[in-house]
Structures are given as structure tokens and as C-alpha cells.
Amino acid sequence: MFKAQPFTRRLTFKASDRPEAQQARDRLIERYGDAGDEAQVIIALGGDGFMLETLHGEVREGRPIYGMNRGSVGFLMNEYSEDDLLERIAAAERAVIHPLAMVAIDTRRKQHKALAINEVSLLRQTRQTAKLRISIDGKVRMAELVCDGALVCTPAGSTAYNLSAHGPIIPIDARALALTPISAFRPRRWRGALLPHGARVTFEVLEADKRPVSAVADNVEVRDVVEVHVAEDRGVSLSMMFDAGRSLEERVLTEQFSA
């Protein structure tokens, strides 16, 4: 548990491009100061997209990030308030997440690597549906999936694109991944699978010349892929902080009972 006093000069503030986020950053710096690279905690001001961007920036340092909502979507953010910030941080609960590592091979056999905090998605590039073969730990589990795409998501990402694609919400501490089809055409009734967090997923793109597919790891897109490998990277730990009683675990649980 954090204590407030050590953070008096050890915060740094980062904001999205939205005017309200920039203005909030200026006011908070005036009130609390900014420790820059010496900070122990990053205060991220924006929406969920900016939180993901800030997390990606901390892959090496791993400093905890406390977000406040100054954007349009704030599932990963705390409520915005300029008062009692040090006390809120001192009482905050942490959620530690591990990203997915993607290795995508394109039609020129070039490898592209990226990390995804939410999900790795395969998406059709044209009007033609995609045809995918899916293997788990080297064993073919789905010989042919005809679809708009498919994704693998982390527990933290299960309430994002995965939920929109009718995938399951995963508790943060479940040590599981979701494999979810996007608009499956054949087999039409397949709804995906829950996988152990250590599973290694391989997508092979069938008829890639006729049915081109792109792979997207959060905001990194690789076009014209023929093979994509996805696995959790437990060598990377990223930490988010949430107000007491509003932990990420609580938010995920609440989301499962929302209308």
C-alpha cells in the first residue's frame, strides 16, 4: 500500500490531445508539481485509448499508472478530481497485467513483432471473408474458420473489442485468454474458446492472395499476413492503479451484470 508523503514530488502528468485533458494537466502540475523522469507514479489524463498508449510507453520502466478520465470512454480510468490526489493514490489498489506478444509474418515472409495490452485481432481487408486455420500449442483445433476475423484478448481487454464481438468477460485474476471469432460464417455456431493463459495460438491465413487479412496488436497493424503467433508475455508486467472500492476486478465483475 502506498503512503502519500513520498509522492509529494514524485508524480508526473501526461495528457491526451483533448483540450480538457491538456488544461487538467496544467492545473495539476501547478498544484502538485511534476517530477518528470524521476516520478514514481504516472498520472494519465484522457480516455481508455490514452491509457493504453501510456501503458505501452511503460513496457520497460513498469511504473504504475493512475488514470483520470478526461476522454470519452473511461472504463480503465478513475473519476477526475483535482482534490486529495495524493490521498487517493495512497489508498489505490493495483492491477497487474501481462500483454500479449504478437509475431506476424506477411506475404513477403517478413516478421513483425508487437505487444497488445487488450487484444490481437485478425481482420479481413476486402469484401471477401477471411479463411483461418487455428492451432493451439501446435495442434490444429479449427481446420477452417470462415469469418470477418478473430481475436485473442487478455482479461483486461475482454471488456473491449472482445465484448463487442460477443466474447466472454474474463476476471482479471482468472489466468485465462479468450479466443473469439468476429462474425463467424462457418462454422456459424462457433462462439470461441477460453484458453489457459500459457497457451500459444497460431493463425494461418488460407487463400491469402484472394482473401487478404491484417493483424492488429492494439494500435499496431500489419497488413497482408499469412501467419500470426500470439502468446502471453509474462516477462512484462504493467501496473494500473484504481481508487479504493473501484478496482479493475470490481469493474469487470460489475460489467457482467450490466444491461
- The reply, when asked if residue 17 is annotated as ligand binding, is no
State the total domains in the chain.
2
- The reply, when asked if residue 118 is annotated as ligand binding, is yes
H or E element that contains 101: strand 100-106
Where in the sequence is the domain holding 243, given as residue range(s)?
A: 5-97+237-255
Q: How many CB atoms lie within 10 A of CB 235?
A: 8
Place of cell 509475431: 103
| C-alpha cell read off for 54 | 501510456
3-state helix, strand, coil in the chain (%, to 5): 20, 40, 40
Rounded to whole angstroms, the Cα distance separating 203 from 134 reads 5
**Are 33 and 117 in a shared domain?**
no
CA-nearest of 59, 21, 61 to 43 is 21
Which residues on adjacent β-strands are paired with residue 1? Answer: none
Residue type, 140: V
Domain with 158 in it: what CATH number? 2.60.200.30
CA-nearest of 94, 131, 117 to 48 is 117
| C-alpha cell read off for 241 | 492503479
**Are 119 and 187 in a shared domain?**
yes
What 8-state DSSP symbol labels residue 54? H
**Are 83 and 149 in a shared domain?**
no
What 8-state DSSP symbol labels residue 109? -
- The reply, when asked if residue 49 is annotated as ligand binding, is yes
Model's pTM, two decimal places?
A: 0.89
Rounded to whole angstroms, the Cα distance separating 179 from 170 reads 11
Q: Tens digits of per-residue pLDDT, 148-165?
A: 999 999 999 999 999 999
**Are 84 and 177 in a shared domain?**
no
- The reply, when asked if residue 69 is annotated as ligand binding, is no
**Are 91 and 113 in a shared domain?**
no
Q: What is the dihedral sign for C-alpha 184, 101, 72, 2?
A: positive
Q: How far apart are the first and last CA of the chain?
A: 34
Residues with catalytic annotation?
48
**Are 109 and 179 in a shared domain?**
yes
**Are 71 and 111 in a shared domain?**
no
Q: Tens digits of per-residue pLDDT, 49-96?
A: 999 999 999 988 889 999 999 987 788 999 999 999 999 999 999 999
Rounded to whole angstroms, the Cα distance separating 250 from 33 reads 31
Q: What is the dihedral sign for C-alpha 172, 98, 178, 76?
A: positive
pLDDT score of 239 more than 50: yes
Q: Where are the alpha helices (DSSP H) in 19-146?
A: 19-32, 48-57, 85-91
- The reply, when asked if residue 119 is annotated as ligand binding, is yes
* Residues 67/76, Cβ–Cβ less than 8 Å: yes
Rounded to whole angstroms, the Cα distance separating 32 from 104 reads 43
- The reply, when asked if residue 159 is annotated as ligand binding, is yes
**Are 218 and 130 in a shared domain?**
yes
Place of cell 513496457: 59
Mean pLDDT of 166-192: 94
**Are 81 and 114 in a shared domain?**
no
**Are 110 and 226 in a shared domain?**
yes
Domain with 43 in it: what CATH number? 3.40.50.10330
* Residues 177/119, Cβ–Cβ less than 8 Å: no
- The reply, when asked if residue 156 is annotated as ligand binding, is yes
Share of the chain above pLDDT 90, in %: 83
**Are 221 and 130 in a shared domain?**
yes
**Are 140 and 227 in a shared domain?**
yes
Q: What is the pLDDT of residue 259?
A: 61
3-state SS, one letter per residue, for 113-143: EEEECCEEEEEECCCCCEEEEEEECCEEEEE
Q: What is the pLDDT of residue 7?
A: 45
Q: How confident is the model at residue 231 (pLDDT cuts 50, 70, 90)?
A: very high
**Is residue 134 packed enough to be buried (19+ CB in 10 Å), middle (13-18) or exposed (0-12)?**
buried
